[in-house]
Structure 1
């Protein structure tokens, strides 16, 4: 199992999104405001593959889960 520490840039690359600092900031700013009752992978900003990856990362408490949680927090506030 890969136990490396993943970054937000790595997560964005894994999701097939542009992972430059500017693009990550822009994505978060444009999509901020996910309601508290919406689970991150159910947000409408993801395609089905991205949502599945996020759901699996959290369900399996994989090494991606911590950075997914970090992104989740950034998208809510």
Structure 2
């Protein structure tokens, strides 16, 4: 089985957020740092659908999991 490689831009597009580099940088700057006691999908800035997608991506170790982890790390720096 072949898994698909997703970029950060793909993830933002999937989440319905502007996916160009400047918009991604602005989003991360606006929402970081995410406290260590809050899981990524629990952050207050996500919609219900976005929360579900992020939680399922990690729980199912889907092909989105790596880029979701990348976003998580970027929001905690």
Measured against the shorter chain, the TM-score band is over 0.9
5+ residue gaps, structure 2: none
TM-score (norm 1): 0.96
Post-superposition CA distance 1:4-62 (Å, at most 9, x none): 11000000000000001100000000001110010000000100000000000000000
Shift of 1:3: 1.4
Distance 1:59 1:39 in 2: 12
| Number of residue-to-residue matches in the alignment | 77
Residues 42 and 51, structure 1, Cα contact 8 Å, conserved in 2: yes
Query: Residue 36 of structure 2 corresponds to which residue in structure 1?
Result: 36
Structure 1 residues without counterparts, runs of 5 or longer:
none
In the TM superposition, 1:1-77 aligns within 5 A as 3-77=3-77
SS, match of residue 9 in structure 1: helix
Q: CA RMSD in A?
A: 1.1
TM-score (norm 2): 0.96
